[in-house]
Amino acid sequence: MAKQQPNIEGAIKPRASFTLEGHSFVGDKRTTPIRGDLADIKLAGLLFAPHYAVPMIRSCTVPSVMMHQLADADSAVISELIHGEDFAILDISGKWAWGYSVHDDYLGYVEMAALGERPVPTHIVTSRSATLLAAPDVKANTTARLHMGAKLVCTAANSDGKFLKVGDHYIFRKSVEPMGNVAEDPVALAEKLLGTPYLWGGRSGDAIDCSGLVQLVFGMNSQEVPRDTDMQQNVVGKAIADGEPLRRNDLVYFPGHVGIMVDGENIIHATAHHMTLVVEALADVTARFGGHEQPILARRRLL
C-alpha cells in the first residue's frame, strides 16, 4: 500500500513521496532465491520482487563447474557443481545462468555451457576419479575424467560385466555404485581424497574446502548437509553431549571450519593451513584455534 506524506503546517508543501509496504527480507541471502529484480515463484506472496520466475531445472554435463558470486569468471568462487547435479535456473544473461544448486539451494552464477538436459541418474562415482572411455577396454582412449560424486545414467555394456555404458562412452564398473547404495562410510570416501588441494568453494577431487568435503561424502551416504560450516553446525544430525567420546564419522566444528573424525583422536579435513586434505590429531587442530574464546563450537553426529 502507498502512503502520501502529510502536509506540515506553515511549510512549503512537499512533493508527494511514496513507500512500498510489504514483507521484509527474511532468511539467508545465500539460499533465499531473490535479488533486486527477480525472485523464485515460490516466494510470491512472501517477499516482494518486480518479477517472479519458475525455475528451469538443468543438470551439470561437464566433470564440474564453479559457481560464482557474480556473472563474471573473475568474481569470487562460492561453490561447485559436480557432473549430474541439478541447477535451478531463474535467469539467463549472455553466457551466465543465475539460480541455485538443487541439492542445497545455494545461489550463484554458472556458465550455461556447463548445463544441459536433466537425466535420471542410476549410478554415482565412488572412486576418487573415474575415466570415461571410448570403448569397453582399459586401453581405449579416455574421453573424460569424472570426480567422486558424479551422477550418471549407466546401462550394461558387455558380457564380462567389467564395464557399464554411459551414453556413447564406457566406465569401469568398480568405479561406480548404484544410486542410494554406496557401501563406504564418509571417512572411507574422504580418505580417497587425501592430498586434494584446498580451494575455497571447491567440492570435488580437483580441489575442495572443508564444508564441501563434509557435504560431498555425507551426501553420498544419503545425508543432506547444507553448504557452509555456519549453516551446518547447529542443524546436521544431533549434538554430542559434553564429555561423550567422539567416534568415527562425527563432525567437529571450529570457528569457520569443520572436520570429520577418523577415530576418537584423529580428524580428516580440507584445511587452508596445509592447503590440502589431511589427517591429523584433533588436539593439534584445536590448538591452532586457541586464540578463539571457544575453539570448538559444536560436535555433531549424523551416523
Q: Give pLDDT, residue 22.
A: 46
**Residue 242 belongs to a domain:** yes
**Residue 213 belongs to a domain:** yes
Same-domain check for residues 142 and 201: no
pLDDT tens digit at each of 303 positions of the chain? 343 333 333 343 444 443 444 455 568 999 999 999 999 999 999 999 999 999 999 999 999 999 999 999 999 999 999 999 999 999 999 999 999 999 999 999 999 999 999 999 999 999 999 999 999 999 999 999 999 999 999 998 766 789 999 999 999 999 999 999 999 999 999 999 999 999 999 999 999 999 999 999 999 999 999 999 999 999 999 999 999 999 999 999 999 999 999 999 999 999 999 999 999 999 999 999 999 999 999 999 999
**Residue 191 belongs to a domain:** yes
Distance CA 301, CA 303 (A): 6
Determine how β-strand 266-271 pairs with β-strand 257-261. antiparallel
Closest CA to 148 of 84, 226, 86: 84
Same-domain check for residues 133 and 153: yes
The residue assigned the cell 508543501 is 13
Supply the CATH number for residue 106's domain.
2.30.30.40
**Residue 4 belongs to a domain:** no
**Residue 145 belongs to a domain:** yes
Residue 132 CB: number of other CB atoms within 10 A? 23
Q: Give pLDDT, residue 224.
A: 95
Same-domain check for residues 236 and 285: yes
Same-domain check for residues 147 and 225: no
| Strand order, beta sheet including 155-156 | 142-147, 129-133, 169-172, 163-166, 155-156
| Strand order, beta sheet including 34-35 | 34-35, 38-40, 52-53
Supply the CATH number for residue 139's domain.
2.30.30
Same-domain check for residues 266 and 289: yes
- What residues does 115 pair with on adjacent strands? 60
* Domain that includes residue 147, residue range: 123-178
**Residue 25 belongs to a domain:** no
Q: Give pLDDT, residue 159.
A: 64
Same-domain check for residues 78 and 150: no
Domain end position, chosen among 116, 132, 150: 116
Same-domain check for residues 112 and 194: no
Same-domain check for residues 148 and 209: no
**Residue 146 belongs to a domain:** yes
Cα angle 165-101-81, degrees, rounded to a multiple of 5: 50
Backbone conformation region of residue 138, classed left if phi is above 0, alpha if psi is from -120 to 50, else beta: alpha
Q: Give pLDDT, residue 157.
A: 75
Number of domains in the chain: 3
Same-domain check for residues 233 and 290: yes
